[in-house]
Structure 1
């Protein structure tokens, strides 16, 4: 068997991937529909996560799927407390805009996914000098979730205004696990043509000539 005989993709297929990447969006609670995600769709999304690259093929991820409304409400309460703290961190002119933003969809989304990093407990190839690359591997899984979901027209929102230790306690996560992402998934009434915060002029998109350097800074 020729192990180098892996699939090659056409230019048309590459264009589809480019479209998925460019049209990926963060979906908030006011966009989710009251409609369950089909099991086969959810399985495709999870399979995409499991095929993410990882340092030393360590695959240091674990996923908690949350559909129970009581559990969601506990997570929502954590969000509310953290969100109240966050308001004062922004400039006075930004605070009214911040308050108006719908920053999560914990209760509205039919499925929440808590994504955890689970340390290997032993040396991992490629992780001996930079321990944090294990966490980066889990972020690659999050990106795969987001891109596959977008390709299937499922909305995803990443909720980061949470106390990670509270979330761990609510979900009874092992002590060594680290919360990397809390995602809300569901069908949506539509996708914005550009990121919502770009449309609201909260921030401007960083251009290539300000972010890419050659050989040195």
Structure 2
């Protein structure tokens, strides 16, 4: 028996949160409980980061006019995305892609400015700061799901526009709008799978052995 392993119930809980995490677009009214948002951000801040640079920053949007301005920009980008999709534009426009006006909390998540000074782990792969922030966001997502709170990651925005809207410094980079709040229910599968936009690929399609073109045993 591995002395470092959690109990069976705790292990089941971890895998359940991973399995049932959803990118949520549908929210119901109501604020989060006191301390919940801070716990979720704390979970994110416990994420791994290359060179321990901790590149993530969170901006909580509490001004309703600012939230409406962000929503307007996202809707403009939604229309441009539809235009770029060609034949799938109509199907795309039927999808609900954000819950900015309905959710309890909106967060802008960004990468810090002056990131070039961080060399450890980034000399040949500078994008590792983004990978680190993605790990932090996954922590946020899982913590929220474990507490029964939905989270949606919105990426339909122009980084420069959003940076200007929320006053981020030059050189910083917004990477996510997080919609966080209560839900009537969690989707039984990823929403885009339920809407038949795409489906999850089998492990045999994504796992190789020794070479990219060699399927794993």
TM-score by length of 2: 0.91
1:107 aligns to what?
101
Give the number of aligned pairs: 209
Contact 2:51-2:118 at 8 Å conserved across structures: no
2:128 aligns to what?
133
> Is residue 43 of structure 1 aligned with residue 38 of structure 2?
yes
TM-score by length of 1: 0.91
**Cα distance in 1 for residues equivalent to 2:119 and 2:17:** 32
**Cα distance in 2 for residues equivalent to 1:129 and 1:95:** 37
Other structure's SS at 1:134 match: helix
1:117 aligns to what?
111
**Cα distance in 2 for residues equivalent to 1:107 and 1:141:** 24
Other structure's SS at 1:72 match: helix
Contact 1:58-1:124 at 8 Å conserved across structures: no
2:215 aligns to what?
none
Using a 3 Å threshold, how does the CA distance of structure 1 residues 155 and 123 change in structure 2: closer, same or farther? closer
2:165 is aligned, of 163, 170, 183, to: 170
Other structure's SS at 1:174 match: coil
For residue 134 of structure 1, report the CA deviation from its aligned partner.
1.1
Contact 2:40-2:144 at 8 Å conserved across structures: yes
Contact 1:159-1:181 at 8 Å conserved across structures: yes
For residue 188 of structure 1, report the CA deviation from its aligned partner.
0.8
2:192 aligns to what?
197
Q: Which runs of 5+ in 1 are unaligned?
A: 1-5
Q: What is the RMSD computed on CA atoms of the aligned residues?
A: 1.5
Residue by residue, what CA displacement relative to the aligned partner does 1:22-65 show, whole Å, maximum 9, x if unpaired? 1011111xx21110012311111011010000001111111101
Q: Which runs of 5+ in 2 are unaligned?
A: 213-217
1:13 aligns to what?
10
For residue 109 of structure 1, report the CA deviation from its aligned partner.
1.0
1:147 is aligned, of 138, 142, 145, to: 142
